[in-house]
Chains A and B, each alone.
Chain A
Amino acid sequence: MARFDPYENNGGTCVAVAGADYCVVAADTRLSVGYSILSRDHSKIAQLADKCVLASSGFQGDIKALQKALTAKELIYEHNNNKKMSCPAMAQLLSNTLYYKRFFPYYAFNVLAGLDTQGKGCVFTYDAVGSYERTGYSAQGTGSALMMPVLDNQLKSPSPLLLPARDAVTPLSESDAVDLVKDVFASATERDIYTGDRLEIVVINSSGTHRECIELRKD
């Protein structure tokens, strides 16, 4: 007899690219389980603060619980400190929140992105139990293995071993970064059955956050 399994992988891919004064965050809107598609229009992106958005793939139930916990904690922070939480602060909070459930983890693969306190683009990439790293770009989720090598090839991040440490932000312009993100999603959609339907792109810059949607293959 099949035992109760508290997890399910609802698929999806999340990407973020940071530039000198902007950040692009994108995720597809397909929600699947096994070979079935549950929804073609389910957002995986959550705005957590003014200049901080979270894109997550994995188990939808855990992702929603995680988003609710972070939104609530951000609100408490706002009331205590009379300011919105910065993106690097949210990054540490997310790590702690994930590790808090180390032995019954949130099955969520996150990319947190936005602008740091200097207004520079930042991307934080995680595993399910809270290990994280600040990078210039990242891909997470079912299509990450298809996208990450392309991003590596196109964005050529400096080695983290170099001293003094180099800036991880990409040299691309904002519109070039958006075009690159559209291309990697169109490509991953060809081969990853869990990625597709629609692409939601959020661009964060000094003028605020802007949302854009484009269609992807629906098969």
Chain B
Amino acid sequence: MDGLSKTIGGGGPSVPAGSHPAGGSQAAAGGGATQRTQYPYVTGTSVIALKYKDGVIMACDTGASYGSTLRYKSVERIKAVGKHSIIGASGEYSDFQEILRYLDELTLSDHMWDDGNSLGPKEIHSYLTRVMYNRRNKFDPLWNSLVLGGVKKGPKGDEKYLGMVNMIGTHFEENHVATGFGNHLAIPILRAEWREDMTFEEAVKLVEKCLLVLLYRDRSSINKFQIAKITTEGSTIYPPYSLKTYWGFTHFENPAQGAVGSW
């Protein structure tokens, strides 16, 4: 793997020695060299989502970090796409905004057919996988993990959909997904407690349990969350709110207690 990518990297974009990569992507340098996004600047943390009885619920916090600085505290990282889907993003926030522009263009041109058909979550997800994979092939990735959820009427009744794509185009469908830190901290909780027939109230409870764990253990998460749902009735993105925290646990106050060490 490493050997392979290094060989390929050698043929990739060349950065002039000593120059710091410019902030924007695609900034053409004088020598004809093109600077691509080599690493993310402003990033959002975990997104979690799961299917429940009537559709899909998705949640994340509203923070965006500049490295380890908490730069923005009130950004929306979950958005509605068309009539049947919602999208959530972690990773580079400006790349997510570009993806939203692509999706606006896609849903607009789809609407203009005026044929009564509309793109469902499966189609939107498929489109996103191609966009992400094509950009990685150009060595100019969109630095995100995307979660797409939706419900659409199909031949076998309402079909719920929940899928994920990452920055290099790996994609899959699941009953519950989580990006970033959520993959380590929320997925084990979801695997233990998720059920197909959860009510919305139960789903919110489970999501909040995951968000709370992330708030305690993911340093870049903040206590301002947004929950969104998508059902056959359409999407609802709820206003941000905070969770009640409790920092009085003995192991929070004295984490070294019981841990024998030499210092």
CA distance A116 to B172 in the complex (A): 32
Q: Interface code B155-188, partner A: CB below 8 Å = 1, 0 otherwise?
A: 0000000001000111111100000000110010
CA distance A59 to B11 in the complex (A): 20
CA distance A41 to B184 in the complex (A): 19
Are B5 and A7 touching (Cβ within 8 A)?
yes
B104 to chain A minimum Cβ distance, whole angstroms, is 25
Are B171 and A60 touching (Cβ within 8 A)?
yes
Q: Interface code B120-148, partner A: CB below 8 Å = 1, 0 otherwise?
A: 00000000010001001101010000000
Question: Is B39 located at the chain interface by the 8 A CB criterion?
Answer: yes
Are B4 and A60 touching (Cβ within 8 A)?
no
CA distance A103 to B9 in the complex (A): 11
Question: Is B38 located at the chain interface by the 8 A CB criterion?
Answer: yes
Are A8 and B8 touching (Cβ within 8 A)?
no
Measured CB to CB, the nearest residue on chain B to A38 is B172
Interface of A, helix, strand, loop or mixed by DSSP: loop
A64 contacts which of B129, B183, B184 (Cβ < 8 Å)? B129
B169 contacts which of A4, A38, A61 (Cβ < 8 Å)? A61
Question: Is B256 located at the chain interface by the 8 A CB criterion?
Answer: no
Interface residues on chain B, size class = 20 to 34
Are B39 and A39 touching (Cβ within 8 A)?
no
Contacts of A7 in B (CB 8 A): 1, 4-5, 168
Contacts of A39 in B (CB 8 A): 172-174
Are A105 and B4 touching (Cβ within 8 A)?
yes
Contacts of B4 in A (CB 8 A): 7, 105, 107
B139 to chain A minimum Cβ distance, whole angstroms, is 7
CA distance A6 to B6 in the complex (A): 10
B139 contacts which of A4, A60, A61 (Cβ < 8 Å)? A4
Size of the chain A interface, CB-CB below 8 angstroms? 26
Which of the listed residues A2, A42, A61, A107 has the most CB atoms from chain B within 10 Å of its own CB? A61
CA distance A1 to B172 in the complex (A): 29
Measured CB to CB, the nearest residue on chain B to A40 is B174
Contacts of A1 in B (CB 8 A): 38-39
Question: Is A5 located at the chain interface by the 8 A CB criterion?
Answer: yes
Measured CB to CB, the nearest residue on chain A to B184 is A36
Contacts of A145 in B (CB 8 A): none
Measured CB to CB, the nearest residue on chain A to B21 is A1
B11 contacts which of A31, A64, A103 (Cβ < 8 Å)? A103
Contacts of B136 in A (CB 8 A): 6, 61
| A-binding residues in B (CB < 8 A) | 1, 4-5, 8-9, 11, 37-39, 129, 133, 136-137, 139, 141, 164, 168-174, 183-184, 187
| B-binding residues in A (CB < 8 A) | 1-10, 31, 33, 36, 38-39, 41-42, 59-61, 64-65, 103-105, 107
